[in-house]
Structures are given as C-alpha cells and as structure tokens.
Copies of this chain bind each other. A is one copy, B any other.
Amino acid sequence: MRIGELAERAGTTTRTLRYYESRGLLHARRAENGYRTYDEGDLRLVQQIRTLQDFGFDLEETRPFVDCLRAGHPAGDACPASLAVYRRKLGELDVLIEKLRVVRTEVGAQLARAELEASAELPGGPEPRCELGG
C-alpha cells in the first residue's frame, strides 16, 4: 500500500508517517516511480507507535517497541528493552500523579482560604482600597 492508505488505516496523516521515517522509526520500500510502499507489518508498527503516543510516550520511547516488532516478534513489548521503558514510564507516572495531587491539594486550599476571606469582607468589613495610584 502507499502512504495515503497507510495513513488512513492507521488513523493519522501522511505528514506524520514521513516524520516517523525522518526519525528512523519507519522504513519504506520504494516503487519504481519513487512512491513509498508499505505492508501490513508497517501498519502494525504505526499502530504500536500511536498506542504508545496516546499513553503519553514520546517518539524516542517508542523506538524499542518498533525495533522489537521489526526483529520479528509478534508484539512490540516482547523485548526486554520495551519492558524497561514500561517500567520507567510507570515510575514517571507515579511521580507525576503524586506531584499533581499535591498541587491539587494546595490549589484547593488556596481557593478555600481565598473564599473565606472574601466572604469575611463582604458582609461589612473594611473594603480594600486601591493603594497604588493609577
């Protein structure tokens, strides 16, 4: 199949596939007229990349999975290097999620405090005056 069909079947664009090729993730055979030619294996490869991208993996992190598929393994995560990426990603996710949870707590606390102070001033407290001349 040609690049347009591969893009459509993989749910992406030709630009993206050429970009993958420029990054060395996808290798295309060429027809006599210079057109890129792909097979079903390439489709699975692109689908693997897309799945990982949806998980938040960046392109470099998908490389071990791609190499694994091209080595003939039926799944991209059948190789140790891929498992290592999984594990590293899990660690990063845990750190990130925990960090966001802390931020969420802090922002929530700030909101609660600010709402309290606002309600305490409205009922008749001293109104905040503009101190800086305009």
Contacts and interface: CB of A to CB of B under 8 A. Distances in A.
B73 A86 contact: no
Q: Could you tell me the dominant secondary structure of chain A's interface residues?
A: helix
**Oligomeric state, in number of copies?**
2
Contacts of A115: 83
Nearest to A93: B104
A75 interface: yes
A22 B83 CA distance: 46
Given A90-B104, A97-B100, A82 B114 contact: yes
Contacts of A96: 100
A101 B93 CA distance: 8
Interface of A: 41, 55-56, 70-75, 77-78, 80, 82-83, 86-87, 89-90, 93-94, 96-97, 100-101, 103-104, 106-108, 110-111, 114-115, 117-118, 128-132
